[in-house]
Amino acid sequence: MKIKILLTALFSSVIGFAQSVNDYKAVIVPLKYDFIKEDNQYRLATLSKSNLLQAGFTAFYTNEELPEGYNDRCDLLYVNVRKDNAFLVTKLFVEFKDCYGRVVYTSETGKSREKEYDVAYREALNGAFVSVKALQYKYSGKSPAAPTKITTAASLQTTASAPAATQQTVTATPVVDVSDPNLLYAQPTENGYQLIDKTPKVVMKLLKTSRPDSFIAIKEGVQGSLNAKDNQWYFEYYQNDKLVSEKVSVKF
């Protein structure tokens, strides 16, 4: 009975965060996906944007300057193509996320048995976009919903079984100045976050550590750490054997 209650609560939580692709003005396309090594390798970025345009979306590459009317990053969707590992079959699917990193839509999986990567990726990606085109996208003019607290299966299990005294861990959160023109926005990734500016352009990549107030940070090829102290985030790295500490404004 307890498991049934937990699953029901989790299902209700997920339904509460449902959002339609029609609530977003445009889609941002990255030049590189995790399973390829170079920007636009096999012309996957070009093919992604082409398919999005065919599906009725307005689409921009991540390095494009956005026109007036598209500057609110939360009015945009961020597309990613992911690869499913399979023996002798190339499988790709398309994932749309909002500005908070929430998955709004996941396509069906496109498949190919071709041996050449350029042919297999093209065939699989086009196959994945069949379900995207079937959505018959049309911008609704609505504003996407802001996130509230997300309930997960793990947190539900903790709530149901853990002693009250151990359910909460207090972590100081640095103050965010939303009026800062250099404010960066954190988008969740598999291993941490990527920080993007309002362009949007990826400025820094973060990898999780065992501490919630410290990340391994990589910016323009320079590796250091992003640490929370004195109610601020600081990117710290060594340059010419000297420790450099740069204040970074981040909204998680």
Token pair for 226: 């992003």
Helices 117-133 and 44-54, packing angle to 10 deg: 20
**For 17-116, where are the alpha helices, taking DSSP H only?**
44-54
Please report, for the chain, the start and end positions of each structural domain, with discontinuous segments joined by +: 18-133, 170-251
Largest interatomic CA distance in the chain: 62
Average pLDDT, the chain: 82
CA nearest 200: which of 80, 49, 77? 77
State residue 84 phi and psi, 5-degree precision: -100, 120
The predicted structure's pLDDT at residue 176: 76
Question: Strand pairing partners for 59?
Answer: 27
Report CA dihedral (6, 8, 10, 16) to the nearest 10 degrees: -150
Q: How far apart are CA 202 and CA 99, in angstroms?
A: 13
What does the pLDDT average to over 245-251? 91
The pLDDT assigned to 52 comes to 97
Q: Which CATH number fits domain 18-133: 2.40.128, 1.10.8, 2.60.40, 3.40.50?
A: 3.40.50
Per residue in 192-233, pLDDT tens? 899 998 888 899 999 998 888 899 999 988 899 999 988 889
Q: Is-above-0.95 flag for pTM?
A: no
Looking at residues 27-42, what average pLDDT do you find? 93
Minimal CA–CA distance to 53: which of 80, 76, 30, 26? 26
**Residue 141's pLDDT is what?**
85
For the cut 60, the answer to whether the pLDDT of residue 11 exceeds it is no
The string of pLDDT tens digits covering residues 58-99 is: 999 988 888 888 988 889 999 999 998 888 899 999 999 988
Would you say 88 and 114 are in contact if contact means Cβ atoms under 8 Å apart?
A: no
Q: Is the pLDDT of residue 13 over 50?
A: no
Secondary structure class of 25 (helix, strand, coil):
coil
